[in-house]
Each structure stands twice: as structure tokens, then as C-alpha cells.
Amino acid sequence: MKLFEGLPVEVKGLSFVSLFVAIGFGIQAPAIPLIANELGAGNAAVGAMISVFALMRLLVSVPVGRIGNIVGERKMMLWGIAILAITSVLAGLVQAAWQLIVFRGLSGIGSAMYTVAAMSVLLRAAPSDTRGRAVSLFMGAFNVGLVAGPALGGALSMFLAPRTLFFVYGVMMVVSGAVAWRLLTHSQVGVGARAQNKIDPVGLIEACRSSVFRAAVMANFSLGWISYGMRASIMPLFLLNVLNEGPEWIGISLALGSLAQVIALPATGRFTDTVGRRLPLIIGACLLLAGLAGLILWPGLTSYLLCLGGIGVGTAFCTTASSAAVGDVTRGRGGTVIAVYQMGSDLGMVVGPLIAGAIADSVSFSAGISASAAVGVIALILALQMPRRTLEDAEPNIPDK
């Protein structure tokens, strides 16, 4: 397949692992409220079971990146997968709500370890002229898993006890860990990761001097706020309370946005490798802003679906371009730098729905969406400030003020 042509075997293997991790994560989704109900947990406890995962990812990302620089991303990724497998099995054995909250939090730590390490290895393995395609394949596999996981989990929950879904996820993580171990054991990239980081590391201060890195982090923050956070929280409420549409359109619209993102990812990856990182990042930011503007200026079901599709395509552009840009800045190294980049998305996903939701409650939905658009405007401004240079010029990583 042309999609895989010319890509290192590490990229293909990590994309396979990413698919399994995402599917397994989605399989758990239907089980959490069912187990919580079985344990007699209240709404606040259910919310904590869900939010503690993202919160722990956010808190440990930078320490995980620093540890990865010391022990190597290969070990870090395998440890992360092992923690995901163990905590998933333990979550299926809980006898109290607080236990499920604890194991979900530990799963968040494992997820951060896996995500930071996997992206570090991916960006190191892919040469600069294929990083866009590599990221698009990796993220495409992950997004396919996120879409398929909940559907598969819902189907399995009709035949299996809710706790069994956690055991299924644990088994999938064991399989993923075995694939990752075999892949990286015979990979020069994985074996040499620790030595390379010691020889030529890229520090966080050095990376922050680069306008490319600043634009990439802000783009990822805007994605966390708008695409991953607000798209699944405020926008569905806007659909129900302002457009007065039925709840069935929530799933349809979210699926449409995810499908548009998955379909667009291969093309955005090739485009990013061809023209560089700046233009795709600008296009992505503009699509995000156009989607938000459409929700306010042309309220209606048709425009809502079109806007979510546009946001999905914009997310594909921003994801591939920003990740590839970080790979250029770090020269394929730098666990801490990549951790900070990914922390931007987690932070946006945590604070975005809270701030936009508070503004929507106190003022209006349009005001909440407009406040989110302001975040997208900042991301666009920083993307416009990126230097106009070729991939070959970007690779040496001379920080620009």
C-alpha cells in the first residue's frame, strides 16, 4: 500500500500498537458507568473516574519525559503498556468506587509513559521528509481505534459482564506490549535511544527559543481545547439546547467529525512533507476557526454537521504539522520537549470545557464558543510567525527568536 511505502518498520509497528491501545481504551468506556452504578457511586464519583485519567496524564507528562531521557523511550513505552495492562485488570476486580478512581489514575500515568515514549520513538525513526506521513499514520490508527473502541465495547457489553471489558483491555495491552517489545528489540532506533539522547539532547529552554516549537505547542493546546474537549462537551449541549435537535445527532455529528479527520490524515501527512510545516498549520487553524464561526453565524443542523466536519479536517492538518514540527526542532530526540508538547493538548482538554462551559452558563453558548475561538486565533498568529524555510533547513535546528 502506498500509505506505508517508504516508512520505517518502527512507524508501521507503532501505528499497529497505537490502534490496539486506542481500541482497548474505548472498550472500557461503556464499563465505567455500569461498574460505578454497581458500586453505588454518585455522579461526582463517576466524573472523578473519568477526569482523573486526563488529570494524571497532565501532571506526570514532564517527569515522564525526563525519566525517558535517562532510561530510554523503549523501556519507558514498555513500562507504560505494562502499567496499562495491570491497572486495567485490577480495575476489573475493584470492590469500592475509590479503588476504581485510584486505578484509573494509575492508568493515566501509564498512558502518559506510553504516549510520550511512542511519539519520541516515532519522530526519531522517521526522517524529516516522511515525518508528516508517519504522524498521520500513527494518529490515523489511534483515531480509528477511538471510533471503533466504544462501539466494540458497547457490543461486548451486551454479552459480557462490565468488569470483563477491563480484562479484555488488559489482554490487548499484553499483545500490544509483545509487539512493541519485539519491534524495538530489533530496532536500531529503539536500542540506541538512550545513547543518542545523552550525546545530543535538545533541552526545553532551547526548544522554547524556537518559534516553530511555540507554534506547535499552541496548536496542540488549541486542539485539546476545541477538538478534543469542547467538541465532546459544549458543542453537543449547543446542539441540544440551542438547535433543539435530538440526542441521536450527538453521536452522528461526533462520528462525522472523527471520520473526516481520519480520511484527511493521509493527505495532510503527504502535504506536510511536501510543503513544510507552516502552511498546513495555518490551514488547520483557519479551518478550526471557520468551524467555530459557522456555529455562531449560521446556526442549524446542516451547518453544525459541516462545521464539525471542517473541525475534523482542521484537526488532521494541525496534528500532522505540529507533531512533525516538534520532530524537526528536537532532531528526533528530546523526551521532555515532546512531553511538554503533548501536555499542551492535555491541558487544553482539561481547562477548555471548564472555561467555555462556565462562560456558556453565565453568558451564552455563543460567548463560550467565541472565547474558544480566541484560543484558535492565538494559535494562528503563532503559526504565521513561523519561519519560511524548507525541511532541510529546519533539520539542523538553529533556534530562532
pLDDT value of residue 400: 43
Of residues 26 and 262, more confidence is placed in: 262
Q: What is the mean pLDDT of residues 336-350?
A: 84
Lowest mean pLDDT among 21-35, 214-228, 279-293, 297-311: 21-35
Report the predicted TM-score, pTM, of the whole model to 2 decimal places: 0.79
pLDDT value of residue 392: 42
The string of pLDDT tens digits covering residues 55-74 is: 888 888 888 877 877 887 78
Residue 194, pLDDT above cutoff 60:
no
- DSSP, res 130: G
Quick one: which of 204, 366, 230 has its CA closest to 299?
Answer: 366
**Domain 204-394: what homologous superfamily?**
MFS general substrate transporter like domains (1.20.1250.20)
Residue 315, pLDDT above cutoff 80:
yes
Of residues 182 and 308, more confidence is placed in: 308
Give Cβ neighbours of residue 213 (< 8 Å, ≥ 6 apart). 207, 325, 326, 329, 337, 341
Distance CA 337, CA 325 (A): 12
In whole numbers, what is the pLDDT of the chain averaged over residues? 82
pLDDT tier, 398 (very low <50, low <70, confident <90, very high otherwise): very low
What proportion of the chain, given as a percentage, has pLDDT over 70?
Answer: 88
Distance CA 46, CA 131 (A): 39
Residue 247, pLDDT above cutoff 80:
no
What proportion of the chain, given as a percentage, has pLDDT over 90?
Answer: 21
Q: What is the mean pLDDT of residues 294-303?
A: 90
Give Cβ neighbours of residue 75 (< 8 Å, ≥ 6 apart). none
Given its phi and psi angles, is residue 7 left (phi above 0), alpha (psi -120 to 50 degrees) or beta?
Answer: beta
Residue 396, pLDDT above cutoff 60:
no
Give Cβ neighbours of residue 199 (< 8 Å, ≥ 6 apart). none
Coil, helix or strand at residue 285: helix
Distance CA 199, CA 216 (A): 25
Q: What is the mean pLDDT of residues 342-361?
A: 85
Residue 199, pLDDT above cutoff 80:
no
Residue 7, pLDDT above cutoff 70:
yes
Distance CA 366, CA 371 (A): 9
pLDDT tier, 5 (very low <50, low <70, confident <90, very high otherwise): low
**Domain 9-199: what homologous superfamily?**
MFS general substrate transporter like domains (1.20.1250.20)
The C-alpha cell 463560550 sits at: 368
Q: Where are the domains of the chain?
A: 9-199, 204-394
Distance CA 394, CA 212 (A): 9
Q: How many CA atoms lie within 13 A of 173 on its CB side?
A: 28
Quick one: which of 14, 67, 69 has its CA closest to 181?
Answer: 14
Q: Return the sign of the alpha-carbon dihedral for residues 263, 267, 273, 276.
A: negative
pLDDT tier, 189 (very low <50, low <70, confident <90, very high otherwise): low
Could you tell me what percentage of the chain is helix, strand and coil, using 3-state DSSP and rounding each to the nearest 5?
Answer: 85, 0, 15
User: For residues 223, 8, 213 and 17, what is the CA-based torsion angle, rounded to 10 degrees?
Assistant: 40
Contact 292, 225 (CB under 8 A): no
Tell me the DSSP string of 8-64: -HHHHHHHHHHHHHHHHHHHHTTHHHHHHHHHT--HHHHHHHHHHHHHHHHHHHHHH
The C-alpha cell 521532555 sits at: 336
Residue 363, pLDDT above cutoff 60:
yes
Q: Return the sign of the alpha-carbon dihedral for residues 42, 43, 46, 52.
A: negative
Q: Do 204-394 and 9-199 fall under one CATH topology?
A: yes
Distance CA 272, CA 383 (A): 14
